[in-house]
Chain A
Amino acid sequence: MARFTINGKPHDIEVDPTTPLLWVLREQVGLTGTKYGCGIAQCGACTVHIDGTAIRSCSLPISEAEGKQVTTIEGLAQNGVLHPVQKAWLEHDVPQCGYCQSGMIMAAAALLMEKPKPTDADIDAAITNICRCGTFQQVRVAIHAVTNA
C-alpha cells in the first residue's frame, strides 16, 4: 500500500513497493500523460514534480513517494487555466510528435520555479531531456517567453 497525493488528491494504492512511480501513475491511477521513454532516467519523458522538484518517475520506487505531493502534466493547469509554460508552448508551437513534451514541460516548469529568469546556461543545465524530433530551439524560445511574459 502506498499513500501519497497526486495533483492535489490523496491516493491509497495497493501496489508492490518496488514498482516505479511512472507505472503506478500510468497503469493504476490512469494518468497516461507521463510517458515511458527509457526506464533508466536518461531521457526525461517521465518527468513529474515531487514536492515541487522535477524527478524522473521511471526510476523512483513508489515507496519513495510515500507521503509526498506528486504533480503530473495533468495537474499543471489550475482550474482549467493553462500554466504559463503550457501557454508559452502553445504560443510558440513547440511540440512536434509531442511524446517527450510532458516531461519537457514539467522540467521547464520546475526550472522556472527555482529560477524565474533563467539564462541560456541555466536552461542548458536544467533541461537535459531527449527529444528525437529536435524541438530544442522552440523549447528555448518558449522558456524565455515565460520569463518575459
Chain B
Amino acid sequence: MNYAPQMNRRSFVIGAVAGGGGLALGLELPFGPRGASATVGGPEINAWVAIQPDETVVIRIAKSEMGQGTITGLAQLVEELECEWSKVTIEYPTPGQNLARKQAWGSMFTAGSRGIRESQELVRKGGAAARQMLIQAAANGWNVPSSECSAAGSVITHKTSGRMTTFGKVADAAGKLEAPKEVQLKDPKDWKIAGKPLKRLDTLEKLTGKLVYGIDITLPGMLNAAIRDCPVFGGKVKSFDAEKVMGMKGVKKVVRVGESGAAVVADTWWQAKTALDVLPIVWDEGENAKVSSASIAEWLKAGLDAEQAFVGNQNGDAKAALANAAKKVEEVYSYPYQNHATMEPMNATALYTADKCEVWCPTQNGDAALAAVIEASGLPAPKCEVHKVTLGGGFGRRGFTDFIRQAVAIAKEMPGTPVKLLWSREEDMTHRRYHPVTQAKMVGGFDANGNLTAFHMRISGQSILASVRPENLQSGRDPVTFQGLNPSGPESGIGYTIPNLLIDHSMRNPHVPPGFWRGVNINHNAIYLECFIDELAHSVGEDPLEFRRKLMREHPKHLAVLNAVAEKIEWEKPRAQGVHRGIAQMMSFGSYVAGATEISVVGDSKIKIHRIVAATDPGYAVNPAQIERQIAGSFVYGLSALFYQECTVKDGRIEQENFDTYNSMRIAEMPKVETIVMPSGGFWGGVGEPTICVAGPAVLNAFFSATGQANPLVSAEES
C-alpha cells in the first residue's frame, strides 16, 4: 500500500509525543518558549490563556472539535482561572505554532476518546498558572502581597483594602511575569464551571449556515479538484486521456496524483466532477483485484485454529481446562469492514508557492497533517503551515492524512493557485481506511457443577497498527486488537474473572487498509465477548445478569454500571408479552459502560427497539449534558453499524458506493436513550466512543433471548 507509511512521518516532527500525549505533564508546566503568538492574540498570559482588554478570555485548544463537545469541555476546565464563563471564547493554535513552541499544547491528535482526558491537566494547569500571574500582577500594582488577593469571576480583590481590578486591566503586566514553577489544582468537588451541564460554545453558527467547514473554504482565485484513486487498493494509474476532457467547460488541468490517482482541476467542483466522470483512466489493478469478501473470510477462518497466535490475556491453562471440561460451548462470530461515512466527505485546500505551502483542512491530527504537508510539499517545516477547520465528523477517519497529501500534490502542479480538493461520496465510500475485518472463535468450558472454568477467545483478522503504525507493534503483536479484553489497567480491562482464560490473535492482514473507527476493535470485541457470555449463561440455564454478576465479583466498577442499567430497565420485573431484554457491559477507553435494551421481534428477524438504557462511569463528568448526547449518539452509530453497515469486497474493491447501499439509522428507528452518568472519580475515562460497544450486544442479546439465535442477520424495524 502506498499509504501505509504515512503515519511514520509523524515521528520526525513530533518525536516522542506520538501516542503519548500529556504523559510528561506532571513534571513541569509545559508552556514552551514565548513568542510566536496564536491567532487572536494577546495579551497572552501563557500558551493556554490570553485575555483581551475587553475582558474576553481566549482559551487555546489543541484538540479538534468534530462534534463531541471537546472544545466546550476543555474550555470549562479553565475553571482554575476563576474567570467569568460568559467571557470565554476559544481558538485553535496552528500545528506550526505548536511545532515552533516545542509542543506547548501537547499532542493535537484527537482520537481514542482522549480529547479531554489527554488535555485536561494541561488546560487546568494553564488556567491555574494564569490566575496566579494575574493575581501577582494586581498585587504588584497595589504593592501588597499576592497572598492577600484572590480572584473570582474575572475580578481580582485585595481582601484587606477591598480594592478591585479586572483580568483585562492587568493582563499585559501578568503576561510579562515569570510563570510559576508549581500550581495547585482544585479538588474536582469544588468545581464551579467544570462538571456543569453547560451549553456548547459553538452552536449558533451551526444553525445559520455560517460555520466554515473544510468543504466551505474559499480563497481568492481558488480552483476546485475532483479525484479518482484506483478502485483496487494498491493498484496504480496506468494512463489517462486528458485531451478527452480538456475542452469541457471550466476545466483547467488534469493531473496525476501519486501513483494511484488522477484529478481534474476546474473553476467549480461540479465542473471538475463532471469531467472526471468521463475521463478515460486505465488502471493497473494488480494482484489485489483477485481478492473478495469470500476469499478474505476463508483466510480468516483458517486463523481460528492456527497454531501460532499473539497472546492478549492469559491466566491458568485454558486449553487444558477445556480439554477436561464437563461441558463445552463453542461459537464463531464475525465482523465486517465498515466505512466511517462522515457526513462531510474528505477534503483539503492547499496553496503551494516556491517558498510556502499552506493547507486548510478538517483534521483530527494537526501535528500529523503538518508532517504530511512538509513531506508532500518538499519544503522545510518553517515554510509549511496547517489551518485546522471545523470537521463535519471525524470518527477516526480524519486522523489520516491521505487526502491532505493529495491536495498538496495537486497544488504543486499549479503553483500560486489555491486548489480545494473534495472527494465525492463515492470516492469517500470506496477509499482508504476501514474498520478492520475479524472473526472470533470462542470456547467456554464448565465443570460438573455448572461453573465456568475455562474460556478461550481466538480472534483472527486484521491489525490496525500493522498498517498504520508498525513501529508500535510489540514484537509483532498488536495490543490494540485486545481492546476491552486486557487483563486490567486504566484503559480497557476485561470485567470477568475466569480461572482459566486465554485470549489470543492470529494476525491476518488483507489488502483493504484498516483504520481507527469510532471505538474500533472494542466494537467487535464487545459483541464477541458479551454475546458469547449470554450463550454460556443460556447453556447452563442461568439468567444472563446473574451469570455475569458471579464472574464480576472482583470488578466492582464494571459491576456498578451493569447493576445501574439492570435496575433502570427493571431487569427483575416480568417482561411484557413479546418483549425481550438484553444486557451488556464493557470497559472502554478508560470508562466503564453498560447497556440494556427492550425489543420485540417482528416477523422472523426484524427488530423493533422499545427502550435503551445506558450507563457510563467516566471518572469525571466535565459536562454531563454533553455526555448524555454522546451516549445517545453513540447508540445511533453503533446500531447503524449493527443493522446496516457492511463493506463487501469484490474484485479487490469495495462494492458499496453511497448511502443507498451503506445505510445509516434515521430518527424513526431510534428510541430515546435513557442515560445514567455516574462518575466515581479518581480516573479520567473517555466519552465519545465507549458506549458504542455495548449498543450491538445489548440488542443482540435481547434478540437471542427472543429467538435463541445468537448471530443473526438483522435489519431494523421503524419504531
Residue numbers in A under 8 Å from B668 (CB-CB): 124-125, 127-128
Given the known A-B contacts A73-B208, A124-B668, are A138 and B629 also in contact in the complex, defined by CB atoms under 8 Å?
yes
Q: Does A37 contact B (CB under 8 A)?
A: yes
B624 CB to nearest A CB, Å? 12
Shortest Cβ distance from A87 into B: residue: B207
Complex Cα distance A53/B427, Å?
Answer: 31
Within 8 A of A (CB), among B655-706: 658-660, 664-668, 670, 672-673
* Contact indicator B200/A93 (Cβ below 8 Å): yes
Complex Cα distance A101/B635, Å?
Answer: 19
Report, as a range, how many residues of chain B touch the other chain: 35 or more
Residue numbers in A under 8 Å from B448 (CB-CB): none
Residue numbers in A under 8 Å from B341 (CB-CB): 132
Q: Does A57 contact B (CB under 8 A)?
A: no
Q: Does B393 contact A (CB under 8 A)?
A: yes
Q: Choose among B199, B270, B343, B660 the residue that contacts A131 (Cβ–Cβ < 8 A).
A: B343
Q: Does B407 contact A (CB under 8 A)?
A: no
* Contact indicator B209/A32 (Cβ below 8 Å): yes
Q: A98-B202, A136-B670, A137-B672 are in contact. List 11 more A-B contacts (CB 8 A).
A: A32-B212, A36-B425, A37-B345, A43-B659, A86-B207, A96-B69, A97-B65, A99-B213, A100-B392, A105-B207, A124-B667
Q: 28 interchain pairs (CB within 8 A)?
A: A16-B249, A23-B269, A27-B269, A27-B270, A34-B209, A36-B422, A38-B658, A39-B426, A40-B425, A40-B660, A74-B210, A89-B203, A90-B204, A95-B206, A96-B68, A97-B390, A97-B391, A99-B342, A127-B667, A128-B668, A132-B341, A132-B395, A133-B633, A134-B633, A135-B633, A136-B632, A136-B667, A137-B673
Complex Cα distance A101/B224, Å?
Answer: 25
Complex Cα distance A134/B635, Å?
Answer: 8
Q: Does A77 contact B (CB under 8 A)?
A: yes
Residue numbers in A under 8 Å from B337 (CB-CB): none
Q: Does B637 contact A (CB under 8 A)?
A: yes
Complex Cα distance A33/B203, Å?
Answer: 14
B504 CB to nearest A CB, Å? 34
Complex Cα distance A99/B393, Å?
Answer: 8
Residue numbers in B under 8 Å from A86 (CB-CB): 207-208
Q: 1/0 per residue A91-135: CB within 8 Å of B?
A: 001111111111001000000000000000001110111111111
A144 CB to nearest B CB, Å? 12
Shortest Cβ distance from A86 into B: residue: B207
Q: 1/0 per residue A29-50: CB within 8 Å of B?
A: 0111111111110110100000
Q: Choose among B67, B342, B633 the residue that contacts A98 (Cβ–Cβ < 8 A).
A: B67
Q: Does B500 contact A (CB under 8 A)?
A: no
A115 CB to nearest B CB, Å? 15
Number of residues from A at the complex interface, CB < 8 A: 58
Query: Which residues of A are interface residues toward B (Cβ below 8 A)?
Result: 16, 19-20, 23, 26-28, 30-40, 42-43, 45, 72-74, 76-77, 82, 86, 89-90, 93-102, 105, 123-125, 127-140
* Contact indicator B425/A132 (Cβ below 8 Å): no
* Contact indicator A98/B211 (Cβ below 8 Å): yes
> 7 closest Cβ contacts across the A-B interface?
A33-B209, A134-B636, A99-B392, A97-B67, A134-B633, A98-B206, A96-B67
Q: Does B424 contact A (CB under 8 A)?
A: yes
Q: Does B66 contact A (CB under 8 A)?
A: yes
Q: Does B344 contact A (CB under 8 A)?
A: yes
Residue numbers in A under 8 Å from B146 (CB-CB): none
Residue numbers in A under 8 Å from B672 (CB-CB): 137
Residue numbers in B under 8 Å from A140 (CB-CB): 667
Complex Cα distance A86/B393, Å?
Answer: 21
Given the known A-B contacts A20-B270, A32-B216, A132-B637, are A74 and B207 also in contact in the complex, defined by CB atoms under 8 Å?
no
* Contact indicator A130/B207 (Cβ below 8 Å): no
Shortest Cβ distance from B391 into A: residue: A97
Given the known A-B contacts A35-B215, A129-B666, are A101 and B207 also in contact in the complex, defined by CB atoms under 8 Å?
yes
B610 CB to nearest A CB, Å? 13
